[in-house]
Amino acid sequence: MLKLIFLNVGVLDTGSTGFMLLATSLVMLMTPGLAFFYGGLATKRNILGIMIQSFVSLGWTTVLWVIFGYSLCFSGGEGGIIGNFDKAFLSGISIDTLYAGNGKIPELVFIAYQMMFAIITPALITGAFVNRVSFKSYFIFLTVWQILVYYPFVHMIWGGGLLAQWGVLDFAGGIVVHATAGFAALASVFYVGARVDKNSTPNSIPLVAIGSGLLWFGWYGFNAGSEVQVDNITSLAFLNTDIAASFATMSWLVVEWMRERKPKFVGLLTGSIAGLATITPCAGFVPLWASPLIGIAAGLVCYLAVQFKNRMQWDDALDVWGVHGMGGVLGTILLGVFASKSINAAGADGLIYGGGLFFLKEVVAVVIAAAYAFVFTYLMLIIINKITPVKLNEEEEKEGLDVVIHGEKAYDEGAL
């Protein structure tokens, strides 16, 4: 039996608290995992340049989150677009303060858990403009994008804001994380243009595999942890996550094998990420039987999105739009189809259960999020470019970010 500690307000559930600390750690691990995934896919001259863009978010996003980020997302602003500054610098939150959402875990744990989401979301975007963007401009981008894109959508959906009151659901970030990041990535590609050498190949597929494994492992905390306690929905979200990812992995592998006559390892790994991104908004709201269908759809749709991107010659280097953007949109739409109150009473009935209005709300919400992220990102890059150049020149790009900007190399080529 779980030990229960009675406090002045609510009851601390030590089992749920322990699980949420673990889930927080798993989500934190996803950002280094993303750095490895992107670092392996990048060219040899740009490994450090792409990896530092993920790792810097671990530090800088935490600073922003403590100063005002958490407050803007989860304090005040009921029914609005953004919160207030009442909890800036974590004001009024003590070690005894319980998370108001369920009264079972310390609010400090919830702050840390949500912070990990804030850390990885803008880092997802970086794969689209690998080896083309200066670190200084990225640092500004990292700051402004969180404040004016990520924070509002967190508040509107998870912080009791406008979309939450409208009835929009997003279990772990199909809209908040993947749709916004994916379409911001596409906007950045349109702005910075194509690479000088678009045919560059991954420098280390084993590094991509390590990153994929860490992302898949961390995603259990990402999705199951979004229940913010331990119950039957936690286990449902956990298993739905694994099933969808596995079916997406195999569907991507098969369709690519059929088209190219060879089973591709990078394709298999990319398919797993597509499945994980697509199940994210659905994980705790849909029945188990739906997760294989969601996974298969993820593998096929995201693969076709990448092929469409290639035909259009959009130089999204690491397929952020096709995998995360389209995965987030697809998952949100499928949530509107498969969600069931019989599975999660806190959810809604989807289209197949007579919830046509809920389905429409999900579609409208994800379209709004994607469109806003795209337009804002494009305009923001124009403004940032007036402050400091965003894109490297051709000579710098050929030499690579690692040497030009960071003065370092990933590998000592002179070593025995």
Give the Cα separation of 71 and 172 in Å (integer). Answer: 19
Mean pLDDT, the chain, rounded, equals 94
Which residue, 329, 325, 279, 330, is CA-closest to 306? 325
Give the tens place of pLDDT for each residue, 301-357: 999 999 999 999 999 988 999 999 999 999 999 999 999 999 999 999 999 999 999
User: Which residues lie closer than 8 Å to 350 by C-beta, 6 or more apart?
Assistant: 286, 335, 336, 337, 338, 339, 340, 358, 359
Q: Is the dihedral of CA 115, 144, 281, 368 positive or negative?
A: positive
> What is this structure's pTM?
0.95
Q: For residue 344, which amino acid is it? A: N
Structure-block tokens of residue 187 = 């906007």
Residue with tokens 């990420």: 273
Which residue, 408, 317, 366, 381, is CA-closest to 173? 366
Give the tens place of pLDDT for each residue, 116-138: 999 999 999 999 988 899 999 99
User: Which residues lie closer than 8 Å to 352 by C-beta, 6 or more apart?
Assistant: 337, 338
**Domain residue spans of the chain:** 9-402
pLDDT score of 414: 62
pLDDT score of 398: 86
Would the pLDDT of 265 be above 70? Answer: yes
User: Which residues lie closer than 8 Å to 167 by C-beta, 6 or more apart?
Assistant: 348, 358, 361
Structure-block tokens of residue 196 = 């000088």
Would the pLDDT of 9 be above 90? Answer: no
Architecture of domain 9-402 in this structure: Orthogonal Bundle (1.10)
User: Which residues lie closer than 8 Å to 126 by C-beta, 6 or more apart?
Assistant: 38, 50, 53, 54, 138
Give the Cα separation of 414 and 43 in Å (integer). Answer: 18
Give the tens place of pLDDT for each residue, 33-86: 999 999 999 988 899 999 999 999 999 999 999 999 999 999 999 999 999 999
Which residue, 282, 279, 319, 281, is CA-closest to 296? 279
State the first-to-last Cα distance of the chain, in angstroms, to the nearest integer: 57
